[in-house]
């Protein structure tokens, strides 16, 4: 598996006449070698040369753990040593491929000081094109992450009452996720209620859960590096007719977009379907973000599901579809599913109920 992925990198290198690729993001190193670490400020780098040799540079304190990496060899350096001098000995050309969104200016300067006349191309899009198609093993891990997330979601909904605060409920859910077997959280659990639910990136507060109002849950766990991302909105108490209409508009927009998923469809079309429907119901100005995003090792990865992305869907893509309506004086509704593009259409990976759920205390 790792050899296949690296061979695809080598193919891109050949097409762009690049002799050396330097990969420094932890997730991409994990994707290509099976080794993950968090070196903090220390440099960890995977060097892939056109010859096919691949070398992993790690700090000495990570040497033992790095032995699992599927590479030609592992080399290490001590804290008092300059890893860029070591990097220099492994680079076969001054034209290199780098992850431009991962290299800081400071790190690039250090590289340039050691490799004269360096010229770089961005390897990021190459890796995006490889990672966008999920293998059967990757899909299985995402499904496991979704299963745990959904069980924790149901637990959280069961605890809803006006005496518990948003933050307390979020912490209960996070604890439950870990008890259920999550390796870690994909991101901090969001539980926001009332008018605050109109904040798409709102954080749980010390405010008690509001009654007769929307309660928005957004959560996901990580299993072997792969992340789930699920949003559901429920009501504690009695919803108004307006609230019901807002909810049903979001749900219908979600279902219409999902129904359109199949190989060959332009990504922009999915966003347009949801946006047009929400606009037709009078809520166009309140749908203030893209329709969704790719899902895998990163919470947000390629493809980005927005009106400007004219790329076509391909079998094996996994992404979210998450339309929302956010009205400050009422609150917000977001319903988010994780979907897989199949040979003929779509598999909805999330199973949590999407009908409006009203929790009466």
DSSP secondary structure of 142-183: HHHHHHHHHHHHHHHHHT--TTSBHHHHHHHHHHHHHHTT-S
Banded pLDDT at 91 (limits 50, 70, 90) = confident
Measured between alpha carbons, how far is 122 from 13 in angstroms, rounded to an integer? 11
For residue 177, which of 154, 208, 200, 203 has the smallest C-alpha distance? Answer: 154
* Per-residue model confidence as pLDDT tens digits over 259-270: 999 999 999 999
Measured between alpha carbons, how far is 85 from 98 in angstroms, rounded to an integer? 17
In this model, does residue 341 exceed pLDDT 90? yes
* Per-residue model confidence as pLDDT tens digits over 318-339: 999 999 999 999 999 999 999 9
Banded pLDDT at 95 (limits 50, 70, 90) = confident
In this model, does residue 285 exceed pLDDT 70? yes
In this model, does residue 361 exceed pLDDT 80? no
| Helix axes 2-15 and 124-131, enclosed angle (nearest 10) | 140
- In the chain, what are the domain boundaries? 2-131, 136-359
Measured distance between the N- and C-terminal CA atoms of the chain, rounded to whole angstroms:
51
Measured between alpha carbons, how far is 48 from 136 in angstroms, rounded to an integer? 26
For residue 358, which of 215, 245, 230 has the smallest C-alpha distance? Answer: 215
Q: Give the HSE-up count for residue 342: Cα atoms under 13 Å, Cβ half-sphere.
A: 9
| Chain-centroid distance, C-alpha 32 | 18
CATH number for the region 136-359 comes to 3.90.230.10
Give 350's contacts (C-beta < 8 A, 6+ positions apart): 146, 150, 230, 336, 337, 338, 339
In this model, does residue 94 exceed pLDDT 80? no
Is the distance from CB of 194 to CB of 214 less than 8 angstroms?
yes
Rg (CA), the chain: 23
In this model, does residue 27 exceed pLDDT 70? yes
Q: Which residues are 241's β-sheet partners? A: none
Q: Distances from the Cα of 356 to the Cαs of 106, 245, 307, in angstroms? A: 51, 10, 28
Measured between alpha carbons, how far is 251 from 323 in angstroms, rounded to an integer? 8
Please state the pTM of the whole predicted model.
0.94
By percentage, how much of the chain surpasses pLDDT 90? 89
Torsion of CA 178, 180, 181, 187, to 10 degrees: -40
Average pLDDT, the chain: 95
In this model, does residue 24 exceed pLDDT 90? yes
* Per-residue model confidence as pLDDT tens digits over 124-167: 999 999 999 999 999 999 999 999 999 999 999 999 999 999 99
pLDDT value of position 119? 85
DSSP strand E in 68-133: where? 73-77, 95-98, 119-122
Measured between alpha carbons, how far is 153 from 151 in angstroms, rounded to an integer? 5
In this model, does residue 86 exceed pLDDT 70? yes
For residue 113, which of 141, 73, 85 has the smallest C-alpha distance? Answer: 85
Is the distance from CB of 124 to CB of 101 less than 8 angstroms?
yes
Measured between alpha carbons, how far is 329 from 246 in angstroms, rounded to an integer? 13
Is the distance from CB of 202 to CB of 326 less than 8 angstroms?
no
DSSP secondary structure of 68-125: GS-SSEEEEE-TTS-HHHHHHHH---SEEEE-TTT--HHHHHHHHHHSTT-EEEE-HH
2-131: which CATH topology? Creatine Amidinohydrolase; Chain A, domain 1 (3.40.350)
Which burial class, exposed, middle or buried, applies to 358 when counting CB atoms under 10 A from its CB (0-12, 13-18, 19+)?
middle
* Per-residue model confidence as pLDDT tens digits over 32-80: 999 998 888 899 999 999 988 999 999 999 999 999 999 999 999 999 9
- The tokens for 306 are 């927005």
């Amino acid at each position: 598996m790792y050899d296949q992925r690296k061979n695809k990198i080598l193919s891109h290198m050949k097409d762009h006449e690049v002799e050396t690729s330097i990969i420094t993001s932890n997730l991409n190193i994990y994707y290509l070698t099976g080794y993950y670490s968090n070196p903090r400020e220390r440099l960890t780098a995977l060097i892939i040369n056109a010859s096919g040799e691949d070398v992993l540079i790690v700090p000495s304190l990570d040497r033992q753990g790095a032995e699992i990496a599927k590479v030609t060899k592992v080399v290490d350096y001590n804290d008092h040593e300059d890893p860029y001098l070591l990097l220099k000995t492994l680079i076969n050309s001054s034209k290199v491929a780098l992850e431009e969104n991962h290299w800081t200016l400071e790190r690039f300067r250090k590289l340039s000081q050691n490799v004269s006349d360096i010229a770089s191309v961005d390897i990021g899009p190459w890796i995006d094109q490889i990672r966008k198609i999920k293998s059967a093993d990757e899909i299985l891990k995402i499904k496991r992450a979704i299963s745990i997330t959904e069980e924790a979601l149901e637990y959280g909904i069961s605890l809803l009452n006006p005496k518990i605060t948003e933050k307390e409920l979020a912490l209960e859910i996070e604890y439950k996720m870990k008890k259920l077997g999550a390796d870690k959280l994909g991101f901090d659990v969001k539980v926001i209620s009332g008018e605050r639910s109109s904040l798409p990136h709102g954080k749980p507060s010390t405010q008690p859960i509001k009654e007769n109002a929307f309660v928005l849950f957004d959560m996901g766990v990580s299993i072997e590096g792969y992340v789930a991302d699920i949003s559901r909105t429920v009501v504690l108490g009695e919803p108004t007719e307006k609230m019901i209409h807002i909810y049903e508009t979001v749900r219908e927009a979600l279902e219409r977009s999902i129904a359109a998923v199949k190989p060959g469809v332009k990504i922009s079309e999915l966003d347009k379907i949801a946006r047009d429907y929400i606009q037709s119901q009078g809520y166009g100005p309140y749908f203030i973000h893209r329709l969704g995003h790719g899902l895998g090792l990163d919470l947000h990865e390629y493809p980005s599901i927005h009106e400007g992305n004219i790329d076509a869907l391909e079998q094996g893509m996994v992404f979210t579809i998450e339309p929302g309506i956010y009205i400050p004086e009422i609150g917000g509704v977001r319903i988010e599913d994780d979907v897989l593009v199949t040979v003929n259409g779509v598999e909805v990976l999330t199973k949590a109920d999407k009908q409006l759920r009203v929790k009466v205390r």
